[in-house]
Amino acid sequence: MGELFAALERALGTALAFFYDLVPSFGMAIILLTVAINLVLFPLTLRQTRATRAFQEIQPEIKRIQKEYKDDPETMQRELMRVQREAGATPGGCLLPLIVQFPIWLALFRVLNNVSQIASGANGQTFLPEDSALLAAIRSGETTFLGMDLGTPMSSGILAGLPTAIPYALMLVLMVASQYIQQWHATRGRITDQALTDQQRQQQQTQQMLTRIMPLFIGFISWNFPAGLVLYWTTSNVFRLGQQFVIFAIDGRPESPKPPTQAEDRPGEAESPRKRPQAVSQKKRRRRRR
């Protein structure tokens, strides 16, 4: 496992050096690498989005099964698994992109942290190719982008004084805001509260709380991250937001399931009593016209 992770670090370092050769800017190299990673992960992102949509669309059926088999938990679980399998609403489809992206994020953190060490003059292991132009630029101190030293921790940049702190603070605010907007857009238009069971309502409230807290938590822990990693995270948020717009444009945003009517809750009463007199009055009107 350690060898695989080391290979991933070297691959990211090589890719970063490659993009620097295309555009000799450390910041642009990080942005291009971010876009490339998200394009590679797009099939998984599409699968995650569609699995999440499938979960949303089968909520009325889930509610029916839970109500019908509430006294038979084994049958209920079997039916729920069948409905989810047929709809393609698998938990793995929702979690797989996150699981795949985490080691990439961790490896990139180590690569950019290594860049910070190289820029400070420390000797040791480097994940960048020895003959790369990027490594030479970093050793020469050419790691500035939009007024930020991308090898410097965010805390050092923000605490360096007002003029220096502005681009770092703006980047941190943009990262938190872009993640919040991305999560909000992904969950906007979810199931209405009336259509939820008590358990589902509690789950939705928990998810809404996480949606509000998670961007702030990421911003907090980014305080000691290299500015280059925050640039990666911000670019990734913006790119994923664009991906969501594309996916929703292709598949359409599903409507929230409506709460069941009284007639649906009582199958024997397919029509309300008010509809039958109207039907009779319509027949009488037709006869009178004739």
The β-bridge relationship of strands 148-149 and 144-145 is antiparallel
Judged against a pLDDT cut of 70, whether residue 287 lies above it is answered with: no
The candidate with the shortest Cα–Cα distance to 167, out of 152, 179, 156, 157, is: 157
Q: What is the pLDDT of residue 106?
A: 85
Angle at 14 between CA 12 and CA 16, to 5 degrees: 65
Angle at 89 between CA 85 and CA 94, to 5 degrees: 135
User: 24 pLDDT band (50/70/90 cuts)?
Assistant: very high
Residue 201 burial (CB count, 10 A): 14
pLDDT tens profile 206-221:
666 666 787 788 888 8
Q: What is the pLDDT of residue 207?
A: 62
The DSSP line for 216-254 is: HHHHHHGGGSBHHHHHHHHHHHHHHHHHHHHHHHHH-PP
Q: Chain-wide mean pLDDT for the chain?
A: 76
User: 23 pLDDT band (50/70/90 cuts)?
Assistant: very high
pLDDT tens profile 97-117:
667 778 887 888 888 888 877
